[in-house]
Amino acid sequence: MNGPVSRFYFSDRLRLHYVEWGREDKPTLLLVHGGRDHSRSWDWVAEELVRDFHILAPDLRGHGDSAWSPGGAYTLAEVVADLVQLLRQRAGRKVVVMGHSYGGAAALFLASFYPELVERLAVVEGTWPLQELREQKPLPERFRAWVEKVHELSARGPRKYQTLEEAEARMQAENSFLSAEQAHHLTVHGLHRNEDGTYSWKFDNYVRTAFPFRVSVDELTDLWAAVACPTLLVTGAKSWVQDPETNGAAALFKQGRTALIPDAGHWPHHDRLADFLAVVRPFLVG
């Protein structure tokens, strides 16, 4: 089996989906996608790494072909609990982990709280929580904003696209670095077709809510400083995420190193695949 093969597991009473690549006798690589994304976003990376790894790429709760959380709960705590469940069921040993954006933030929590599960860690554009926490508003404002967002989303249905091409254009607008082929692939796997023939994104709109109760800056930096495994922080040179070398994030990791991908935005594994793999593959293989 090379993959991707579609499989399901259960966590927190939710039926969650993942795709599996490669042979189980190879080291396991867990690929964790970002917010409003899906497991097939990793396909180009997985095709290149399947010779070296047995790959598990989950659809996070509320994304892809995984179930939506009934209460609209999509905090990092719940995502990490889902990842722990998957690894306990399918890995049974330490694994290599790579996460992008929201998935990168989750991967950092996983490595910090469950060091017995993570051999080494690559975080792609996943240090954004540090800059977000430094700039966040006081709790009363965050709480009221969260309530208003929840009420707004409860009254709003998923956006409908009349054609696949219309949705592809939206995908391309989200990331101008994408080729037409990439945009098509990501869109096809990111949509479902409605009964009226229109298309909607698979992700739950409630993933857009920012839960008001969060860790503090001090707690976050302590968590990152507790990551004991070798850690690679990858950033796109043209991304909105701050360079971890300049904002102090990189210095927190005991065995940390950084890589800046030139001419790449928030999705360096899409924007500059060859450059990305040249940096990431030697680190992941170890």
pLDDT-based confidence at 73, cuts 50/70/90? Answer: confident
- Report the DSSP beta bridge partners of residue 257: 232
Question: Is residue 218 packed enough to be buried (19+ CB in 10 Å), middle (13-18) or exposed (0-12)?
Answer: exposed
Phi-psi region of 84 (alpha: psi -120 to 50; beta: other; left: phi over 0): alpha
Q: What's the mean pLDDT in 39-63?
A: 98
Q: What does the pLDDT look like over 88-131, one tens digit per residue? A: 999 989 999 999 999 999 999 999 999 999 999 999 999 999 99
All residues at 6 or more sequence positions from 40 whose CB lies less than 8 Å from its CB, including other chains: 4, 19, 57, 64, 185, 186, 189, 190
Q: Judge whether residue 276 has pLDDT over 60.
A: yes
Residue 151's pLDDT band, with cuts at 50, 70 and 90, is very high
pTM: 0.98
For residue 1, what pLDDT band results from cuts at 50, 70 and 90?
low
Q: 55, exposed or middle or buried, with CB in 10 Å at 0-12, 13-18, 19+?
A: buried
CA distances from 199 to 164, 205, 212, 262, 278 (A): 7, 15, 32, 35, 36
119's tokens: 């051999």
Does residue 134 contact residue 215 with C-beta atoms inside 8 Å?
no
How far is residue 6 from each of residues 9, 11, 17, 89, 142, measured CA to CA in Å? 11, 17, 7, 16, 38
Counting Cβ atoms within 10 Å, is residue 284 exposed (0-12), middle (13-18) or buried (19+)?
buried
* pLDDT at 261 exceeding the cut of 60: yes
The predicted structure's pLDDT at residue 2:
75
Q: Mean pLDDT throughout 227-242?
A: 98
CATH of 5-136+215-285 among 3.40.50.1820, 3.20.20.70, 3.10.20.30, 3.20.20.60: 3.40.50.1820
